[in-house]
C-alpha cells in the first residue's frame, strides 16, 4: 500500500506547480486530424499579430504545402504579422527514412522563400544534439495570437489527413493569453535565439559539422531552460500549467513521475510506442498493487508509423513495431493477474491501414496531460519535450474529456491475455532473424533507449 506520506509527497508536488487560470469555454477538443487541419488553417487566416508554429517537421507534400502557403498568404495580406516556423534541424535536411535526401524540406523552404520576395517567413532549424539519433526538437505547439493549438502531430499529409490515410493524434485549442505569451516568449528566447539555431530557408546555412561545438553548448543551455512565471490560480479551480524539459531530471519528467501515483481511482495512458521507462512501469505496478485501475491504449504494431507490410521490401527500421510488441507482451506476461482481475486494461488501436500517434495521461477526472512525449526512454533522456497539464478539480471539462476518450477507444480491442499478442516465432522470417541477431549481440537494449 502506498503510504499516506508518499501519496502526499506526489500530490504536494502537483499542488506546488504554478497554475494559470483557465476558462472552460476557452478549451476546445477536436476529434479528427481533418478538424485539426481546418482549425489550424482558419487560425492562420484570421491571425492579427503573431503566428508561431513549432513541430518536429513541416513536410514538402500537399499537407505541409497547404500550411506554408497559408502562412505566406497571411503575411502578404498583413505584413505586420510576426510569423515564424521552428522545426528540427537534422530532420529538415534529410529525406524520409529509406529515401535519398536529394530534395529535402530545407531545400523546399529555400525555394518558397525565393518564390515570395519581400515576404519573410523565417524557418528555424533547432539542433537538440549533434546527431538526430541522440535527440530532436520534440517541443509542440502552434501559437496564434492568444491561442495555443496543441497536438503531438507534425505537419504533413498523413498527420493532416490530406488524402486517404491519416495518423491519429490528440488536438486541443486553448485560448489563454498568459499561456500563449509564456510559450511564445520561451520559444523566442531559447529556440529562435539559441546559439546553435540557424535559418533553414537560407541556402548558405552552415553544415552540421561546422556548428557541432555550438550544438553541444546549446544542448546544455536547453537543459536549464525552464518556464519562469507566476501562477494566478489556486488548486480549487480550472487551470493550465505549461511544462518543458530536456533530460532525465527535467521539470516535465518530474511532473509525469508525480502525476501517476496521484490516481485515487484510475490512470489512463496513451502511447504509440510501448517502451515505458522503468520508473513509470514501477509506478503502474504500485498503482495496481494498491487496487487502482490502469488503462493503457497503445497502437497495434500494424498501426505504427514504422510498420512495413509483408508484401513490401523489408527495411531494418521495419523491425521497430515488433520490438514494441515484444515489450508489451513481456509487460503483460508479468501482470497477467491484474488483467484477469480487470484492474489492468490494455487496448490495441487499429483502423485499417491508418496509424496511431496518441500520447498523454488522464488521472481520475481531475488531471489531463497534453503532450508530444512518447513516454519512452528517448523522450525521457534525449529529446526536447513539452506538455500542458490541465487541472480540473470541479470537473468542468468532464463531458469533453469523456468524449475524447470514447473517440480514442472507438477502434480498439482489449487484450485479454498476453498470448493474444504474437511471439517472435510468429513474425515474418526476416523480422525474426533480425531480432534474434540483435539479441545475440545485445544491441536490442541500446535500440530501446534511442527509439
Write the CB contacts of 443 (distance below 8 Å, at least 6 apart in sequence): none
Q: 138, 161, 172, 258: which one is catalytic?
A: 138
- Cα gap 115→119, rounded to integer Å: 9
Residue 393 CA neighbour count, 13 Å, CB half: 12
171, three cell numbers: 488536438
* 169 has catalytic annotation: yes
Q: 385, 391, 392, 404: which one is catalytic?
A: 385
| Sign of CA pseudo-dihedral 448, 172, 161, 119 | negative
In the three-class reduction of DSSP (H, G, I as helix; E, B as strand; rest coil), residue 105 is classed as helix
Question: Integer distance in angstroms from the first to the last C-alpha of the chain?
Answer: 34
Write the CB contacts of 27 (distance below 8 Å, at least 6 apart in sequence): 172, 173, 174, 175, 390, 397, 400
Residue 87 CA neighbour count, 13 Å, CB half: 25
In the three-class reduction of DSSP (H, G, I as helix; E, B as strand; rest coil), residue 99 is classed as coil
- Reference 373, options 80, 95, 152, 48; nearest CA is 152
- Cα gap 425→316, rounded to integer Å: 18
| R_g (Cα) of the chain, nearest Å | 22
293, three cell numbers: 485501475
The helices-and-strands tally (H runs, E runs) of the chain is 14, 19
* Residue showing cell 487499429: 350
Write the CB contacts of 239 (distance below 8 Å, at least 6 apart in sequence): 19, 20, 21, 22, 231, 233, 390, 391
184 Ramachandran zone, left/alpha/beta (phi>0; psi -120 to 50): alpha
- Reference 270, options 372, 398, 127; nearest CA is 372
Q: 325, 357, 366, 383: which one is catalytic?
A: 357
User: In this structure, are residues 172 and 358 in contact, taking their beta carbons and an 8 Å threshold?
Assistant: no
User: In this structure, are residues 147 and 173 in contact, taking their beta carbons and an 8 Å threshold?
Assistant: yes
* 305 has catalytic annotation: no
Q: 169, 201, 300, 404: which one is catalytic?
A: 169
* Residue showing cell 508525480: 258
* 145 has catalytic annotation: no
What is the β-pairing status of strands 385-391 and 266-271?
A: unpaired
Q: Catalytic site residues?
A: 138, 169, 357, 385
Amino acid at each position: 500500500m502506498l503510504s499516506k506520506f508518499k501519496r502526499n509527497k506526489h500530490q504536494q508536488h502537483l499542488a506546488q506547480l504554478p497554475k494559470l487560470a483557465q476558462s472552460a469555454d476557452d478549451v476546445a477538443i477536436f476529434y479528427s486530424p481533418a478538424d485539426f487541419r481546418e482549425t489550424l488553417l482558419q487560425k492562420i487566416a484570421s491571425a492579427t499579430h503573431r503566428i508561431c508554429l513549432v513541430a518536429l517537421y513541416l513536410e514538402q507534400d500537399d499537407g505541409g504545402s497547404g500550411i506554408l502557403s497559408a502562412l505566406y498568404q497571411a503575411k502578404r495580406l498583413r505584413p505586420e504579422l510576426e510569423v515564424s516556423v521552428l522545426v528540427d534541424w537534422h530532420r529538415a535536411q534529410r529525406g524520409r527514412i529509406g529515401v535519398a535526401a536529394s530534395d529535402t524540406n530545407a531545400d523546399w523552404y529555400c525555394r518558397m522563400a525565393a518564390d515570395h520576395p519581400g515576404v519573410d517567413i523565417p524557418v528555424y532549424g533547432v539542433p537538440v544534439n549533434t546527431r538526430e539519433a541522440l535527440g530532436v526538437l520534440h517541443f509542440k505547439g502552434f501559437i496564434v495570437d492568444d491561442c495555443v493549438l496543441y497536438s503531438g502531430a507534425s505537419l504533413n499529409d498523413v498527420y493532416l489527413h490530406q488524402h486517404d490515410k491519416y495518423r491519429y493524434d490528440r488536438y486541443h485549442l486553448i485560448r489563454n493569453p498568459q499561456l500563449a505569451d509564456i510559450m511564445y516568449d520561451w520559444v523566442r528566447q531559447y529556440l529562435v535565439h539559441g546559439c546553435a539555431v540557424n535559418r533553414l530557408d537560407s541556402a548558405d546555412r552552415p553544415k552540421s559539422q561546422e556548428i557541432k561545438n555550438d550544438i553541444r553548448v546549446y544542448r546544455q543551455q536547453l537543459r536549464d531552460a525552464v518556464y519562469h512565471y507566476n501562477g494566478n490560480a489556486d488548486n480549487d479551480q480550472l487551470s493550465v500549467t505549461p511544462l518543458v524539459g530536456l533530460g532525465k531530471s527535467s521539470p516535465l519528467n518530474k511532473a509525469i513521475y508525480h502525476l501517476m501515483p496521484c490516481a485515487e481511482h484510475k490512470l489512463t495512458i496513451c502511447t504509440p510506442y510501448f517502451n515505458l521507462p522503468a520508473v513509470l512501469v514501477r509506478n503502474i505496478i504500485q498503482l495496481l498493487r494498491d487496487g487502482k485501475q490502469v488503462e493503457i491504449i497503445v497502437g497495434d504494431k500494424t498501426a505504427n508509423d514504422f510498420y512495413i507490410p509483408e508484401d513490401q521490401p523489408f527495411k531494418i527500421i521495419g523491425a521497430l513495431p515488433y520490438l514494441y510488441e515484444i515489450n508489451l507482451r513481456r509487460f503483460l506476461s508479468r501482470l497477467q493477474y491484474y488483467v484477469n482481475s480487470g484492474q489492468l486494461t490494455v487496448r490495441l488501436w487499429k483502423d485499417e491501414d491508418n496509424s496511431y500517434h496518441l500520447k498523454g495521461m488522464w488521472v481520475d477526472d481531475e488531471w489531463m496531460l497534453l503532450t508530444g512525449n512518447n513516454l519512452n526512454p528517448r523522450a525521457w533522456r534525449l529529446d526536447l519535450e513539452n506538455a500542458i497539464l490541465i487541472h480540473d478539480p470541479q470537473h468542468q471539462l468532464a463531458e469533453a474529456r469523456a468524449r475524447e476518450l470514447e473517440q480514442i477507444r472507438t477502434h480498439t480491442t482489449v487484450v485479454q491475455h498476453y498470448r493474444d499478442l504474437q511471439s517472435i516465432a510468429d513474425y515474418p522470417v526476416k523480422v525474426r532473424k533480425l531480432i534474434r541477431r540483435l539479441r545475440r549481440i545485445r544491441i536490442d537494449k541500446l535500440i530501446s533507449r534511442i527509439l
